[in-house]
Amino acid sequence: MAHDTPPLADRSINDVARITGTTSRTLRHYDDTGLLKPSRVGTNGYRYYDADALARLQRILLLRELGLGLPAIAEILAGQRDDTAALREHVRLLESEKQRIDRLIASVSTTIHKLTEGEPLMAEEMFDGFDHTAHKDEVEQRWGSDSYAASDNWWKGMGAADRAAFVATQKQLAADWAATAERGDDPAGAAAQALAQRQFDGLVGIPGTPSEGKLGPPREYYLGLADMYVADPRFARNYGGQAGAEFVRAAMVAFATERWG
């Protein structure tokens, strides 16, 4: 007589939900959409998950934490066959985000302490964690150390009010992009193209940005940014996730086609 006792390594759907802090309903949805199939289904209809399934679930939850939607996660998992390499990349992204958050916590904590004690505030302390230094390696690798040094000196030379205004402007632009994408606008339409123009104009005044004289950044640089917004989940989150980033890239491509042909 057959028994429905799972192997020691298998976990029931209820166990997995409890361990991961998700729900059985979510796991069943992942199964229905093909994102995460159980390793086996018992004769009683219960779903069971082995070590490989749990590793895949861990990757799904990590990507969710990074702000990606389920369709984007499915595409990533379909294109990455090396689980170990993929997880190493997830760890790298999480460590980078952790460092940024640690700096933000320290910055705000310092501000609280100094306000409480009546001590003078230093702009460098208040805005640590808000600048572009988290992407230093990417900038230097793509466009050279001189580009990074010029933009870094520009940032450090700004006063606290100017820094705050710049950050607010960038956040507003990202929010406007996300809202336009959420509405389902045409990337080549007037609203999206106005945002693409704002994106372009914002690059003109930043030292270190490759430039064609007074004409602003060249086509290759502008489109390279568009591709990076889609390729790197850290940037995609600024635009509401992967779908938002893909909308931004489509709008920027349309802008580039109109501007440069």
* Domains detected in the chain: 11-65 (1.10.1660.10), 83-260 (no CATH)
Residue 235: pLDDT band with limits 50, 70, 90 = confident
User: How do 11-12 and 47-49 pair as beta strands?
Assistant: antiparallel
Whole-number average pLDDT of the chain: 76
- What token pair was written down for 42? 């018992």
Task: Tell me the CA end-to-end span of the chain in Å, nearest whole number.
Answer: 72
* Rounded distance between C-alpha atoms, residue 21 and residue 222, angstroms: 41
Please identify which residue in the block is written with the tokens 């466009």. Answer: 143
- Farthest CA pair distance, the chain: 81
pLDDT digits (tens, 9 = 90+) for 186-219: 999 999 999 999 988 888 767 667 665 556 778 8
Per-residue pLDDT tens over the stretch 57-103:
988 888 887 767 788 788 888 876 566 676 677 677 777 777 767 77
Output the pTM of the full model.
Answer: 0.47
How confident is the model at residue 124, as a pLDDT? 45
**Conformational region of residue 209, where left means phi above 0, alpha means psi within -120 to 50, and beta covers everything else:** beta
Other Cβ atoms within 10 Å of 134 Cβ, number: 15
Question: What pLDDT is attached to residue 230?
Answer: 79
Predicted confidence at residue 102, as pLDDT, reads: 72
Burial class (CB in 10 A: 0-12, 13-18, 19+), 239: buried
Contacts of residue 211, defined as CB under 8 A and 6 or more positions apart, other chains included, come to 204, 217, 218
pLDDT tier at 185 (50, 70, 90 boundaries)? very high
